[in-house]
Amino acid sequence: MTTQVRKIAFIGAGNMTQSIVGGMVSSGYPNDKIYVSNPSVGKLEKMANSLHVHTSQDNAEVANAADVIVLAVKPQLMADVCAALTKQVSNLSDKLIVTIAAGIRIEKYRQYLGESIRMIRVMPNTPSLVGKGMSGLVADDRVSDDDKNYITEAFDGVGATLWVANEDELDILGAVAGSGPAYFFEFMASLQKAAVELGFDRDKARKMVQQTALGAAEMAIASELELEELRKQVTSKGGSTAKGIEQYQAHDIDKISDAAVKAAVKRNQEMAKLF
Ligand SMILES: NC(=O)C1=CN([C@@H]2O[C@H](COP(=O)(O)OP(=O)(O)OC[C@H]3O[C@@H](n4cnc5c(N)ncnc54)[C@H](OP(=O)(O)O)[C@@H]3O)[C@@H](O)[C@H]2O)C=CC1
Ligand SMILES: O=C(O)[C@@H]1CCC=N1
C-alpha cells in the first residue's frame, strides 16, 4: 500500500467479510493487521486457520484493537451491534468507521454511534474474494483525504472501486453491482440447466458456462465496443444465435433487468427506513 497500513477490524465474519478479507490477504495486506469478530466460532476458526488473521468472539476487543472498524453484520442487527460498541469502545470518534451494510444511512449511524463519528459507506460484492470485486464508496464530509485514499487502496486491492456522489447513488450501485453477482449466477445456473436438460452431465455443462461467462466478461472489459455491438458479432444473420437471442428478447430481458434493479433499489430504501 502507498498509504499507511492501518489495523482494521471486521465486525461479523459472514460471506462478505470472508470475501473481502480473503481478497485483502491475497493482495498482500498484512494479516497481522486484520481483526475479525463473530459470535459463533466456526467461521473464526476457518479464517484464523486459512488467513492467519486475529479473531475473537468479542466485538469490542477487535474494535478497541483497530484504527478502522468495518461494520459487516446484517442491517437488522446494526442498531444493537452499534449500541454495544458505543458502550464498550471508548474512543470511537478517533477511529474511521466503515460500513458495508445495505441501505442504512450515515445519518442513522450518527444516532447509533454518536454525532462525532467519521464514516465511509462501502458497497462491495462477493467477487472481492478472487480480486474481482466492485465496490462503491461514499463518505461523510468529516472523512479526510488520507482516510479516503486508505480505503480506496484497500478495496482496490480486492477489485475496482467507484466513488459515488451520494447515498442515493450507492443504493443504485448496490442494486446493480452489490446484488449483481447473484443475477449473473442465476443466469449461469439457468444456462447450465438448459445444457443438462439436453443431455450433458453437470460438470461439462458447468465448464462450458463458466468459461463462456469469463470470456464474455473479459471481452466486455477489453473492448471499447458497445455491448450491443459485441452481441451482434456473435449473432450471424440466419444463424443459431439469432434464434436464441430471439427467445431472450421475446421474454423481454431488458424489462426483467429493469424490474430487478428497481426492486433491489426499493428494498435498499426500505432498509434505510427500517433499520
Ligand atoms: N453478501 C453480499 O454479497 C453483500 C453483503 N453486503 C452487506 O454485508 C453485510 C453482511 O452480509 P453477509 O456477509 O452477506 O451476511 P452473513 O449473514 O453471511 O454474515 C453476517 C455475520 O454477522 C454475524 N453476526 C451476527 N450477530 C453478530 C453480532 N452481534 N456481532 C458480530 N457479528 C454478528 C453472523 O454470525 P453467525 O452466523 O455466527 O450468527 C454472520 O457471520 C450486510 O449488512 C449486507 O447488507 C453488502 C454487499 C454485498
Ligand atoms: O442482499 C443484500 O441485501 C446484500 C446487499 C447487496 C448484496 N447483498
Q: What is the mean pLDDT of residues 205-214?
A: 98
46 lines ligand 1 (CB under 6 A): no
H helices of 41-174, in order, are: 41-51, 59-65, 78-88, 106-113, 145-156, 167-173
Residues 10 and 22: their CA atoms lie apart, in Å, by: 12
Positions at the binding site: 11-16, 59, 72-75
Which ligand approaches the C-alpha of residue 171 most closely? 2
What is the reported pLDDT for 27? 94
Task: Report whether 119 contacts 109 (CB < 8 A).
Answer: yes
Q: What is the mean pLDDT of residues 29-47?
A: 98
Q: What is the mean pLDDT of residues 134-155?
A: 97
139 lines ligand 1 (CB under 6 A): no
Q: What is the mean pLDDT of residues 64-71?
A: 98
What is the reported pLDDT for 48? 98
pLDDT at 166 over 90: yes
Q: What are the structural domains of the chain?
A: 8-173 (3.40.50.720), 180-272 (1.10.3730.10)
H helices of 66-144, in order, are: 78-88, 106-113
Residue 100 alpha carbon to ligand 1 centre in Å:
9
pLDDT at 149 over 90: yes
Residue 215 alpha carbon to ligand 1 centre in Å:
31
Residues 265 and 175: their CA atoms lie apart, in Å, by: 5
76 lines ligand 1 (CB under 6 A): no
Residue 102 alpha carbon to ligand 2 centre in Å:
6
> What's the grid cell of residue 232?
451482434
99 lines ligand 2 (CB under 6 A): no
What is the reported pLDDT for 90? 86
If phi over 0 gives left and psi between -120 and 50 gives alpha, with beta otherwise, what is residue 53? beta
For every residue of 201-216, DSSP letters joined together read -HHHHHHHHHHHHHHH
Reported as a pLDDT band with limits 50, 70 and 90, residue 23 is very high
Q: Quick one: which atom of ligand 2 is closest to the CA of 175?
A: 6
pLDDT at 1 over 90: no
